[in-house]
Chain A
Amino acid sequence: MTEQDELLSLDKPELIEKYLAAVDSWKRAAADLDNFKKRAALERKELLEYSKQMAVLKLIPSLESLEQVLIYAPNDEKYKEWLTGLKATIMQLEKTMEELGVSKIKTVGQPFDPNQHEAVEEVDGTPGEIIKELQPGFILNGKVIIPAKVAVGKVIKE
């Protein structure tokens, strides 16, 4: 009860000062809590975005491997239907990613943009234009989560 004794020994102006200080720190604490709540709500949203991002990042290597199959696919009538099925599977996966808010960064034929693309090499072709995609890039809700790795055109001197 020492706190009470201390208060009883104070005069009025001191008490007022103490009271105001106490109210002030209480208001601050309440405000801190309120701010914390707002921030926590924001962070929950970010966390959701982040978990989507993680899911997409983990899926991408498999998508890449599937696309690799197309590159090395045999040009044979016998496998035509198999290839059609594979292409459809890839489309299925891409559609799922789109539903998650992910879109593929456009590459071949586009002008090179370091905000979305990463140049890995220069090859013969229209200067500044993307000639080949080495690895797909992705945008999640307007934010580049993986830049596309590309080969950029350049006039190669003989």
Chain B
Amino acid sequence: MANKIIGIDLGTSNSAASVMEAGKPVIIPSAEGQTVAGKAFPSYVAFTKDGQLLVGEPARRQAVTNPEGTAFEFKRKMGTDFKYKLAGKEYAPEQLSAFLLQKIKKDAEAYLGQPVAKAVITVPAYFDDSQRTATKNAGEIAGLEVVRVINEPTAAAFAYGLDKTGKDQKILVFDLGGGTLDVTIMDFGEADGQATFEVLSTSGDTQLGGKDMDKALIDFVVSDFKKEHDLDLSQDKMAMNRVREAVEKAKIELSTTLETDINLPFISANADGPKHLNKKMTRAQVEELVKPIIERMRHPVEQALSDAKLTPANIAKIILVGGPTRMPVVAKFVEEYIGKQVERGIDPMEAVAKGAAVQAGVMSGEVTDKEILLLDVTPLTLGLETLGGVATPLIERNTTIPTSKSQIFSTAADNQTSVEINIVQGERPFAKDNKSLGRFHLDGIPPSPRGVPQVEVTFDIDANGILKVTAKDKATGKSQNITITGSSSLSKDEVERMKKEAEMHAEEDKKNREVIETRNQADTLISVSERTLKDAGDKVAEPDKKDVIDKIEALQAVKDKPELDAIKKAMDELSNAIQKVGAAMYSSSAKASEDKQQAANQGPVEGEVVDEKK
């Protein structure tokens, strides 16, 4: 097996790595795993006082106690002569990046269970040659062959598959990180069958990010508390820690809801006793608070557009990158400015790493593997028509083929000697609303009471989508079958239309189905009641018998009307009447009649094949 190439998003505050697995990019977890708010690989490197090297999460956790031994945001110094002094030794920014890449390499190897020697690494679009070379060198130092350095916004576009649209289009990538904003406008096109991408302009703000928004929210909560209780929480590290976490949680909740509570009991105390922080926060409130920060994003977007000599109308697609863009207010700002919806479906924090993995997959040949076994699925549910026109599914839609399934059905009427199998395709609960693919008869079933014969129906779809339906009478072994070649010949539009119709009619279909099911139960009850009366003979008093006959007639009169409540009521009355008869039978000759009653109650085995239409 060819060795995997991994994709790495080497970020300013956090890094991430991804790899293609079964044709899809997946994020590689760090060995420490993700902690509550912790990212996979914080971009931190440290040497402890006793000379131990720490990388990632552990390095970040000790930064406060070891500022002179800890380095972070070294990406900002890539390609410069700047040297970091850590524990008495000098390190170039690419050396520090290499420590980080080494850790990513090691954790990726542990995850994949195989050595990793090659990587695709992303850089900001504005990185110049020396910064790109430094990034490449960092990889080499870490023992990774950097097969390609690609732009972060390009990678994000890959993650969304925008390189495969085959259209010439301008894309705006809005990358808001913890502390930086990068706006990039790119031109995606195609030349000689090759995808091409050109960076038209970049703009941004190196001191603007999610941290500013968090600070605005925390400050608001703290000052609000101060106003109410005259207590300054900002002096209390423990309280601030709780506030920070609660605000973070509220911010995330408000991305999906409109209102939430910040509830921190016993946050502090003064001479009057304990103080509690309990505050309602609305999305509108949060949006108002971060508005000044959002406003600062307007200029970089304007700048990028004017540098590219474009207007918002020229932008075909918008891609959001970075955790803070998960806030609805950020997406709303960009959408309103450009006048288009942003692309959705990929976690903005993972888009760059995943796009790098897609590129890595292309380079390792994984993405266009020579012989991929394409597994097909059935686009629509296949089933058969049963009593009352109900479509009973046998093979659900989206089942991978080849596959086969069988189920046992029975007859709907006494002495029925033939059943009709009507094969239907579609999502609606009634056969008539679905497409009938074919029908056939199985006859020669020995006469017996309804529900007794066992007819095994098998649906078998081969790898080419050819459906073979077989019906077999278990008693005689007699069988019939039909082969349908066009089961998946529906056009894509047809499939979509049928799915939509199913959704549209879901409610109405459910009601109809309930009526049919009740009607089937009514039929069973009538037939059981009639048999019980016959078996009872003269053991039951005439008035009781008469009562049952009346109730049967009453039920028969309403059962075919679409009035669910009336049918249910008539059924209840008949059950009560027949129970009286049953009780009378018990008291006269308990044992003998009980056996018969049980035989009569033996319902249909699993379902009933629709009665043959005469």
Whether chains A and B associate is yes
CB pair A151 B237 closer than 8 Å = yes
Rounded to whole Å, the gap between the CB of A125 and the closest CB of chain B is 12
Does A94 interact with chain B (Cβ within 8 Å)? no
Please indicate the chain A residues that have their CB under 8 angstroms from the CB of B367 in the complex.
Answer: none
**Is B444 part of the binding interface, using a Cβ–Cβ cutoff of 8 Å?**
no
Q: How far is the CA of A64 from the CA of B264 in the complex (A)?
A: 9
How many angstroms between the C-alpha atoms of A61 and B248 in the bound complex? 13
B37 to chain A, nearest CB (A): 10
> A65 touching B62 by the CB < 8 A rule?
no
The contact of A119 among B54, B64, B242, B269, by CB within 8 Å, is: B64
Residues 103-154 of A contacting B (Cβ, < 8 Å):
112, 114-115, 117-122, 128, 134-135, 143-147, 149, 151-152, 154
Which A residues are in CB contact (< 8 Å) with B237?
120-121, 134, 151
* Chain A residues positioned under 8 Å from B49 (CB to CB): 128
Are A120 and B241 in contact (CB-based, < 8 A)? Answer: yes
Give the size of the chain A interface in residues (CB under 8 angstroms).
32
Which residues of chain B are within 8 angstroms of A122 by Cβ–Cβ distance? 64-65
- Please state if B62 and A112 are interface contacts (CB–CB under 8 Å): yes
Binds A, one of B28-36, B358-366, B435-443: B28-36
**Contact A121 to B64, CB < 8 A, known contacts A65-B264, A114-B59:** yes
Query: B274, A69: Cβ atoms under 8 Å?
Result: yes
* Cβ contact within 8 Å between A68 and B266: yes
B60 partner residues in chain A, CB cutoff 8 A: 118
Name B33's closest neighbour in chain A (CB-CB): A143
In the complex, chain B residues 230-249 whose Cβ is within 8 Å of any chain A Cβ: 237-238, 241-242, 245-246
**A interface footprint on B548-560 (CB within 8 Å = 1, 0 otherwise):** 0000000000000
Smallest CB separation, B177 vs chain A (Å): 21
Cβ-based interface call for A29 (8 A): yes
One of B36, B54, B62 near A146 (C-beta < 8 A): B36
**Which of A29, A72, A119, A145 is within 8 Å of B266, CB to CB?**
A72
In the complex, chain B residues whose CB is within 8 Å of the CB of A112 = 62, 65
Q: Are A119 and B241 in contact (CB under 8 A)?
A: no
- Whether B373 is near chain A, meaning CB under 8 Å from some CB there, is yes
Nearest-Cβ distance from residue B270 to partner chain A, whole angstroms: 9
**One of A64, A74, A115 near B58 (C-beta < 8 A):** A115
Contact check: which of A29, A69, A134, A145 meets B373 at CB < 8 Å? A29
Residue from B35, B36, B61 in contact with A114 in the complex, judged by beta carbons closer than 8 Å: B61
Contact B58 A68 (CB under 8 A): no
A151 to B33, CA, bound (A): 24
B267 within 8 A of A: yes
Q: What chain B residues lie within 8 Å of A147 (beta carbons)?
A: 35, 61
**Which residue of A64, A119, A121 is within 8 Å of B62 (Cβ)?**
A119
In the complex, residue of chain A having the shortest beta-carbon distance to the beta carbon of B58: A114
> Judging by beta carbons under 8 Å apart, are A114 and B54 in contact?
yes
User: Considering the complex, which residues of chain A in the window 80-106 have a beta carbon less than 8 Å from any beta carbon of chain B?
Assistant: none
Shortest Cβ distance from A21 into chain B, in angstroms? 10
> A18 vs B49: C-alpha distance in the bound complex, in angstroms?
66
Residues on B with C-beta less than 8 A from A118 are 60-62
Name the residue of chain A whose CB is nearest to the CB of B52. Answer: A114
Question: Which residues of chain A have C-beta atoms less than 8 A from B36's C-beta?
Answer: 57, 145-146
Residues 259-283 of B at the A interface (beta carbon under 8 Å): 264-269, 273-274
Which residues of A have CB within 8 Å of B32?
A: 115, 144
B54 near A134 (CB under 8 angstroms)?
Answer: no
CB of A51 closer than 8 Å to a CB of B: no
Instruction: Report how far A158 CA is from B40 CA in the complex, Å.
Output: 40
Chain A residues, Cβ within 8 Å of B64: 119-122, 152
Given known A72-B266, A114-B54, contact A149–B241 (CB-CB < 8 A): yes
| Smallest CB gap from A53: residue in B | B33
Q: Is A156 interfacial (CB-CB < 8 Å)?
A: no
Given contacts A25-B373, A121-B237, A151-B237, contact A68 B61 (CB under 8 A): no
Q: How far is the CA of A118 from the CA of B38 in the complex (A)?
A: 12
A110 to B155, CA, bound (A): 45
CB-nearest residue of chain B to A118: B61
Q: Which residues of B contact A119 (CB under 8 A)?
A: 61-65
A71 at the interface (CB under 8 A from B): yes
Whether A135 and B61, one on each chain, are in contact in the complex, defined by CB atoms closer than 8 angstroms, is no
**Would you list 8 pairs from A and B whose C-beta atoms are within 8 A, ordered by A residue?**
A29-B373, A71-B266, A72-B274, A114-B48, A115-B32, A119-B64, A135-B238, A147-B61
Q: Knowing that A72-B268, A144-B32 are A-B contacts, what are 19 other residue pairs whose CB atoms are under 8 Å apart, sorted by A's residue number? A: A57-B36, A61-B245, A65-B266, A69-B266, A69-B274, A112-B62, A114-B62, A119-B62, A119-B63, A119-B64, A119-B65, A121-B237, A122-B64, A128-B49, A134-B241, A135-B238, A146-B35, A151-B237, A154-B65
A-contacting residues of B (Cβ < 8 Å)?
Answer: 32-33, 35-36, 48-49, 54, 58-65, 237-238, 241-242, 245-246, 264-269, 273-274, 373
What are the 6 A-B residue pairs with the smallest beta carbon separation, nearest first? A68-B266, A72-B269, A114-B62, A118-B61, A114-B58, A119-B64
